[in-house]
Amino acid sequence: MELYRLLQQQGFGGRKECRQLIEYGLVQVNGEVVDNYRAQYELADIASLVVDDEPWPLVTGPLYLLLHKPANYETSHKPQCHPSIYRLLPDQFSNLDLSAVGRLDVDTTGLILLSNDGQFIHALSSPKKLVPKVYRVTLKHEATAELIAKLQSGVYLNDEAREFAADSIEQIDAHTILLTITEGKYHQVKRMVAAASNRVEALHRESLGAIVLGDLPVGEWRHLTAEERAAFGF
């Protein structure tokens, strides 16, 4: 494969942009600068790729990413009032058709997954899959025994014909609970807490299925590990 085509495949832009990157001496393959955009390479022959002084792991298949979403970012390619979460990713990824697995509200922080594998997105976001999602919920008022009981037994939400209950609840302190749900209705956690006579002051997703946010810094991203993908059969 010609080098400029390989760069296109990696998401570095169109033909013209990729040729210019190479002709300007901004591409290194296996530690050597390559300025011939027609140089031939196979992916298996490339041990390292550096573009504009940034090491770039080769994309050889679908992407599976974990992002630590900050507050005041929209989970949208066409944001209305705040920047898009996709701005937190390398520019190259904008050409690789990434989509989020579900959504997080503008003011909600924490774990969000992104991929260009439609089957993966469906497997983790479909309500029928019952993938557990754990949220750290900061409450305006104290977490009373009555509140916990209501959330565990189920509450009615506006415009819904049935009750919704937490799959599990762990109280961390007077104003903080860990709440697990397996569905993903619009503003579900906030609406459940409101229906139980309290209010969500801050919401942070800590895990989705077997995938845990951990100590990834706010605004940073990483590739999912093979073990994390395997937990969902990918």
CA–CA distance, 225 with 127 (Å, rounded to integer): 24
Residue in 97, 105, 117, 167 annotated catalytic:
105
Q: How does DSSP assign 71-90, residue by residue?
A: TT-BSSSS-SSS-BGGGGS-
- CA 131 – CA 209 distance, rounded (Å): 5
Residue 52: active-site member? no
- Per-residue exposure over 83-109, b if at least 16 CB sit within 10 Å of its own CB, e if not: ebbbebbeebbeebebbbbbbbbbebb
* Torsion sign over Cα 81, 86, 88, 91: negative
User: 78: burial class by Cβ within 10 Å (0-12, 13-18, 19+)?
Assistant: exposed
The pair of structure tokens assigned to 157 is 């939400």
Do the strands 200-208 and 109-115 form a parallel or antiparallel pair, or are they unpaired? parallel
Query: 188-204 burial string, b = 16+ CB within 10 Å, else e?
Result: bbbbbbebbebebeebb
Helix (H, G, I), strand (E, B) or coil at 56: coil
Catalogue the active-site residues.
Answer: 105
